Amino acid sequence: MLELRLLQGGLLKKVLEAMKDLVNDANFDCSPTGFSLQAMDSSHVALVSLLLRSEGFEHYRCDRNVSMGMNLNNMAKMLRCAGNDDIVTLKADDGSDCITFMFENPSQDKIADFEMKLMDIDSEHLGIPDAEYQSIVRMPAAEFARICRDLSTIGDTVLISVSKEGVQFSTRGDMGTANIVCRRTTTVDKPEEDVIIEMEEPVSLTFALRYLNSFTKATPLATQVTISMSSDLPMVIEYRIEGMGYIRYYLAPKIDE
Amino acid sequence: KSSQGRMESFFKPV
């Protein structure tokens, strides 16, 4: 028996919107720790890792570890039928091939049940070791989204270079080139607007903008985004979900030949 | 010239 009740149903809506363009089908893993997912895009260039900890739910019952295969587009469609302020409950009986999404409006006078078929999905789980990254940038999520969007109108790839002073995003295309530098900020009054850089070594890596633009669909989930880079690892773009966990995107860099 | 790296080049299946 599985029963997860989330007071902020809007959060689950945002989580699905943040994943459905990157991944078609995925297994959600439910354990006493929380509700999680790891999945790659079809080309295995990007990976998304989601964790919603059990403590973040108003009620969390998961009698045994269970993996439920879902089509993320269909799940997003069902969740779009929930109001942003609705309470969302996920329910599944042991061995059932369906999951039920129950939506309750804030005044509790409208209750909706949506039942979705589960799928058998063969997916491989990759081990992601803890790593010390050479450069970590924390910046406003909306600013990062804006930069990725703007640069993708000029070129297909972005060179991200981190130094002690700041982070530089560069691209080139048929019409010309673009460079955006975000300097490290030193203000203390508005931490949500800060650009913070923790650098062990300068890093310069090239990534496909198409994927970064897809990751920025998670922007409504967090005010800040953390970008971690090392020269020999995929970059990690993390959006922390307050009180619940995170959504992390891993993106393999372009490799010089 | 550059090529796109893949996840399995960095992380191994468990």
Residue (of A96, A104, A21) closest to A63 by Cα position = A96
- pLDDT, tens digit, for every residue of A168-193? 999 999 999 999 999 998 777 888 89
Chain B neighbors of A128, CB-CB under 8 A: 11
In whole angstroms, what is the distance from residue A20 CA to residue A117 CA?
17
Residue A94 exposed, middle or buried by CB count within 10 Å (0-12, 13-18, 19+):
exposed
State yes or no: pLDDT of A97 exceeds 90.
Answer: yes
Give the one of B2, B9, B11 whose C-beta lies nearest to A256's C-beta: B2
Q: Do B8 and A45 touch (CB under 8 A)?
A: no
Tens digit of each residue's pLDDT (9 = 90 or more) over A137-160: 999 999 999 999 999 999 999 999
Q: Taken in order A44, A219, A233, B5, is the CA torsion positive or negative?
A: positive
pLDDT at A69: 97
Q: Which two tokens stand for residue A228?
A: 């971690």
Mutate to test the interface with B, among A49, A67, A126, A207 (most CBs of B within 10 A): A126
Mean per-residue pLDDT, A110-132: 94
The pLDDT of residue A35 is: 98
Q: Provide, as residue numbers in chain A, all residues whose Cβ is less than 8 Å from the Cβ of B9.
A: 252
Confidence band of A124 (pLDDT split at 50, 70, 90): confident
Residue A95 scores a pLDDT above 90? no
Percentage with pLDDT > 90 across chain A: 91
Helices and strands (DSSP H and E) totals, chain A: 4, 20
- pLDDT mean over A237-257: 94
Confidence at residue A114, expressed as pLDDT on a 0 to 100 scale: 98
Tell me A44's DSSP state.
S
Q: Report the residue of chain B nearest A40, measured CA to CA.
A: B7
Q: Which of these, A230, A144, A161, A145, lies nearest to A195 by C-alpha position?
A: A144
What is the chain B residue with the closest CA to A41?
B7
Q: How far apart are the C-alpha atoms of A144 and A196, rounded to whole Å?
A: 13
Distance, CA of A120 to CA of A112 (rounded, Å): 26
Residues 1-14 of B with CB under 8 A from A: 1-14
Report the mean per-residue pLDDT for chain A: 96
Q: Are A210 and A148 in contact (CB under 8 A)?
A: no
Query: For testing the chain A interface, which of B1, B2, B3, B4 should be mutated: the one with the most A CBs within 10 Å?
Result: B4
Cβ of A233 within 8 Å of Cβ of B5? The answer is no
Reported as a pLDDT band with limits 50, 70 and 90, residue A87 is very high
Q: Is B2 within 8 Å of A252 when comparing Cβ atoms?
A: no
Structure tokens at A56: 């973040």
Note the pLDDT tens digit of each residue in A40-86: 999 999 999 999 999 999 999 999 999 999 999 999 999 999 999 99
Complex ipTM: 0.95
Give A186-223 pLDDT, tens digit per residue: 777 888 899 999 999 999 999 999 999 999 999 999 99
Nearest CA in chain B to A129: B11
What pLDDT is stored for residue A111 in this prediction?
97
A44, A206, A256 ranked by CB distance to B8: nearest: A44
Q: What is the pLDDT of residue A192?
A: 86
Select the residue of B5, B6, B13 nearest A125 (Cβ to Cβ).
B13
- Residue in B1, B10, B13 closest to A252 by CB: B10
pLDDT score for A79? 97
